[in-house]
Structure 1
Amino acid sequence: MVEDLRGYLRPQGDGHPLYPGAVVLVARDGKVVVHEAMGQAVKYADASGAELPADQQVPMRPDTIFDLASISKLFTSIVVMQQVEAGQVNLDAPVANYLPEFGSFGKEPITVRQLLTHTSGLPSWMRLWRPYPDRASRIAAVLAVRPSAPPGTTYVYSDLNLITLGVLVERVTGRGLDELVRTGITEPLGMVDTGYNPPADKLYRVAATEFQTDPDRGMVRGSVHDENAWSLGGVAGHAGVFSTASDLAILAQAMMNGGSHAGHRVLEETSVTAMLTDLNEGFPGHAHGLGFELDQRFYMGALASPRTAGHTGFTGTSVVIDLLSRSIAVLTTNRVHPRREWSSVNVARRTVADHVARALDVAPRRGRTAWYAGHADGTTATLTLPVTLREKHTRLGFDLFVDTETADVLTLELSRDGGATWSPLPYVVSSRGRIAHHDGSICGFTGRHWQQAYAEVDESPGQVQIRWRYVTDPLYQGRGVYVDEVRLGDAQGTLVNGEREADRFLADGWSQATR
């Protein structure tokens, strides 16, 4: 993984590196297993990409402090949930109950919950640093914005949702958002390098972001990159938090632990469950809890599942929390340094997640190995079993592990003409007491555990071929597909024992894997 990430420091197809520098941290069961820094925290002098002299560049280090951009939304969401626990806020109450000026242009029914799940109908963004002259007028403009859709009718990821929530918690508590985050999250959890507007004595550890000309800020370092958050004084509900990979991992571990870490609780378990449970089932592809994104393959890669939570930041940051394996993957980069147009780091985010996923064991169901279909994109892999049937009724049994994206499909097929044509072979899957009937194909997240499958092969005696065909699309991967303990039998007894007769299989793209 680290080797691949270092490769992105070199110029890519467009002539630019993916990022000047990065820090990656991976933890499993509360233990850090990878924590590496690479590249430069400060490399460029201006927007053209002119490099600073070598002695003026600043190397990346494990404790480099990054502008988290939209990962800040998680901190605001946690503060909101703390106020819910304190009885100050009701998730299903109209926002206008707390912010009367919000209740205009049909926004009166919008609830706190809808702001947290991005189903409020508010527009995604609006410019605040122009034409509004000060923080008060900018906040007033956000609260007075016209919705782009009726509440609850669509999913639109919106900075305005979280800016509004930041104002809401400040209003109900009479305290600043920065103070609420500090006293409610970072201090209890010991996140010593996390907060808004980093102090001057930590500037030497802060990664540079973008050279900005509109507004005219020059090379931004130590001040929030997001222009709207900057215009609000660096403290806003949608952006403004700075942190290190280590501190982000602490926050992730606290969520994984149900709201506490190292003896300090910041949320009740019921609140954490609500934050990590999909409340957007009516908007497929936009799974979202109260603040956290869920099951997003584009950056969670092979770790994605309904039980995987996280968030990204525009500056090149991401955190992934895989509850099923108790794994955490944090990637912090300064990809907008010196210009935001240079790159997207989604491929690097997936690189981290995919390597973590592949490091997790899939122990063979029986024996030392299981058949594995590989993890390449845009390929077809086949595992074929030629067999001579002896009876009219033959039963095929096999064990199956399937964790793919929905466009990567495993199909069980049968050929009666030596492989010239194939027909789907329906089968039944038993998974921890649940029975599912398949028309021959299976895909998606099925639980990351072994399942038992069987099919009835009702064919006249003679030669047939049975195969497992795995087809992947050009982008994204899950943990993959494994087949083990293949058994074929009829009234006369065992016809094929796959554990003892592995050489009977014709593998094209499949291999025998030990894990």
Structure 2
Amino acid sequence: MSLMNIAAIIDRFEPLIIDAMTEQKIPGLSVAVVKDDEVIYERGFGARDCGTGAAVTPDTLFGIGSCTKSFTSLAVMQLVHDGKIDVDDPISKYVPVTLESGRKPISVHRLLTHSSGIPDLGIATLAIAKLLGKQSHLPAIPLASWEDFYTHVNGAGRELIEPGSRFWYFNGGYIILGQIVARTSGISYENYVKEHILKPLDMERSTFLEDEWKKDSDVSTGYDTEGHGDEFRLIPSSHLCDEFAYAGGGLLSSVRELANYLIANMQGGNFRGKRITDSSVLQRMHQVHVYYDVRNQTGLGQFGKSGYGYGWSVSEDFFGYALVNHGGSTAVSSAYLGFVPQLKTGIAALANTGDMPIHPMIALLAMVAGKDPQVDIPYYPRKRHVDRLTGDYETYKGIHKMSVVNRGGLLHVVSKFLGSEASYPLIAENGSTNSLEFYVVTDLGTKRYVNFVVHGNGEVEFFAERCRFHKVQ
């Protein structure tokens, strides 16, 4: 990829970032792009702290959330390579977890791939509620010691299904893996990651420890978000520093240091003459072990069959290449790491709210693959379609009014009549993301068909029952 091509891609990429930050009301975000073994682009956008207005830089520390899971997996696989862990061993060999499915023991492999048969047990939710001071919204479950942790996990026997029978994302499984790392290495999980991954990769400022990041001069303020529209507000917060979240989502880092991590992953474990593991170990981590739809061996992703490796999500057909990636959120900070091994190109992105806009990062990787994201990344055509349909509508002389709104990716019609309001989801008749034909389900359980009409001059109408609504321009 020539310097000219890089510049052209960045010229198209930066407006996508700014548009996403504006739409999602993200105060600050940073990005680094890696090609082969070099950082070819890095930049901070916006403010790391709204109060001081201090700018985000490529060195600004953010919580990376579940992107930590690949570090935990790498730690496990280093110990597998050293003969201290076997991924086929039952986890009860290493930690006091007594859950049994009645047929198969839960193996280390099953925890690595989120196929243990254990559903979410709310451990991350409890940690985040504590961070945000929202414990009153949840049951008062004791979680102050490792004894409490194992009591909570071992008490969930009735929740368990047969290991390997489905993909169930289980944060607690990675906390258990962190404990396996600690027990087999003889040092704490966080110290193991520091000595065996962070230090060799020159990630000297990356840390799990509150007393370390609080001393740093370039650390973001995390922001919880509440409300919508005029009611929207950003609430400043500390970062997630709970030992029961370390191995599942507790690392803080910067895009400059995460770039080193991406280089090592794309260069077979090598970084500036240092090797953190063998290439065969990384290949094992970067391949699908469990498809998201276990029954049909297919994925739910938009780029071919998709599934989970060891700490990484993998899409097998990203325009003819594999895409290895992962997102993360702590509710007040978020992250994305992604790379295309065959193109030796990767991207790291961090933000100081819990909702990282992943689509611009995917768009950049698509451009490197020679694609036009506005056409080839499903998010963008879908967004244009949704934006065209959403808005305020009224009938003849404005007697009846309604709105079409986007809620979590699903269109809803909000009808307004004589001071009362009702909302109904619009369900695409043919399942298409670009449909103009929909139905709503009435209180009686019947389907009522509705449709949009888009005219050549850009005018949009909505036909429902006896009414013909015109979109208000």
TM-score category (smaller protein): 0.5 to 0.7
Counterparts of 1:139 and 1:209, CA distance in 2 = 26
Amino acid at match of 1:160: G
Counterparts of 1:94 and 1:377, CA distance in 2 = 46
Report deviation, 1:359: 3.9
User: Match of 1:377?
Assistant: 381
Counterparts of 2:325 and 2:375, CA distance in 1 = 26
User: Match of 2:256?
Assistant: 246
Given the superposition, is the C-alpha separation of residues 185 and 117 from structure 1 closer, same or farther in structure 2, using an over 3 Å criterion? same
What SS does structure 2 have at the residue aligned with 1:310? strand
Given the superposition, is the C-alpha separation of residues 166 and 9 from structure 1 closer, same or farther in structure 2, using an over 3 Å criterion? same
Counterparts of 1:202 and 1:120, CA distance in 2 = 39
Report deviation, 1:260: 1.6
Report deviation, 1:230: 2.0
Assess if the C-alpha contact under 8 Å between 2:32 and 2:347 holds in 1. Answer: yes
What SS does structure 1 have at the residue aligned with 2:44? strand
Amino acid at match of 2:177: L
Superposed counterparts of 1:191-230, under 5 Å: 191-198=203-210, 199=212, 202-211=215-224, 219-221=236-238, 223-224=239-240, 230=242
Residues 1:4 and 2:16 aligned together:
yes
Superposed counterparts of 1:328-477, under 5 Å: 328-336=346-354, 344-345=355-356, 348-361=357-370, 374-375=375-376, 377=381, 474=434
Equivalent of residue 317 in structure 1, options 335, 341, 344? 335
Assess if the C-alpha contact under 8 Å between 2:62 and 2:334 holds in 1. Answer: no
Given the superposition, is the C-alpha separation of residues 173 and 183 from structure 1 closer, same or farther in structure 2, using an over 3 Å criterion? same
Counterparts of 2:189 and 2:30, CA distance in 1 = 27
Counterparts of 2:282 and 2:143, CA distance in 1 = 39
TM-score (norm: length of structure 1): 0.59
Tell which structure's C-alpha radius of gyration is larger: 1
Residues 1:287 and 2:301 aligned together:
no
Amino acid at match of 1:136: W
Report deviation, 1:188: 1.0
What SS does structure 2 have at the residue aligned with 1:90? coil
* Bigger mean CA offset, 62-71 vs 304-313: 304-313
Report deviation, 1:81: 0.3
Assess if the C-alpha contact under 8 Å between 1:135 and 1:231 holds in 2. Answer: no
Report deviation, 1:106: 4.3
Which structure 2 residue ranges, 5 or more long, are not aligned?
1-12, 128-139, 227-234, 300-305, 384-431, 436-473
Residues 1:170 and 2:179 aligned together:
no
Report deviation, 1:181: 0.2
Amino acid at match of 2:312: F
Counterparts of 1:81 and 1:196, CA distance in 2 = 20
Residues 1:148 and 2:148 aligned together:
no
Residues 1:260 and 2:270 aligned together:
yes
Assess if the C-alpha contact under 8 Å between 1:308 and 1:324 holds in 2. Answer: no
Report deviation, 1:105: 6.1
Counterparts of 1:259 and 1:91, CA distance in 2 = 20
Counterparts of 2:29 and 2:66, CA distance in 1 = 17
CA RMSD of aligned residues (A): 3.0
Report deviation, 1:256: 0.8
Amino acid at match of 1:321: F
What SS does structure 2 have at the residue aligned with 1:324? helix
Counterparts of 1:176 and 1:210, CA distance in 2 = 29
Q: As a proportion of its length, which structure holds more helix?
A: 2
Instruction: String of CA shifts for 1:326-362, please: whole Å, max 9, x gaps.
Output: 11011111123xxxxxxx43xx322122133224448
Which structure 1 residue ranges, 5 or more long, are not aligned?
44-51, 298-302, 337-343, 363-370, 380-471, 476-515
User: Match of 1:420?
Assistant: none
Q: What count of residue pairs does the alignment treat as equivalent?
A: 334
What SS does structure 2 have at the residue aligned with 1:125? coil
What SS does structure 2 have at the residue aligned with 1:161? helix
Assess if the C-alpha contact under 8 Å between 1:123 and 1:160 holds in 2. Answer: no
Counterparts of 1:25 and 1:19, CA distance in 2 = 18
Counterparts of 1:39 and 1:373, CA distance in 2 = 24
Given the superposition, is the C-alpha separation of residues 40 and 7 from structure 1 closer, same or farther in structure 2, using an over 3 Å criterion? same
Counterparts of 1:288 and 1:473, CA distance in 2 = 25
Given the superposition, is the C-alpha separation of residues 211 and 107 from structure 1 closer, same or farther in structure 2, using an over 3 Å criterion? farther
Assess if the C-alpha contact under 8 Å between 2:255 and 2:349 holds in 1. Answer: yes
What SS does structure 1 have at the residue aligned with 2:308? coil
What SS does structure 1 have at the residue aligned with 2:221? coil
Counterparts of 2:250 and 2:279, CA distance in 1 = 27
Report deviation, 1:4: 2.0
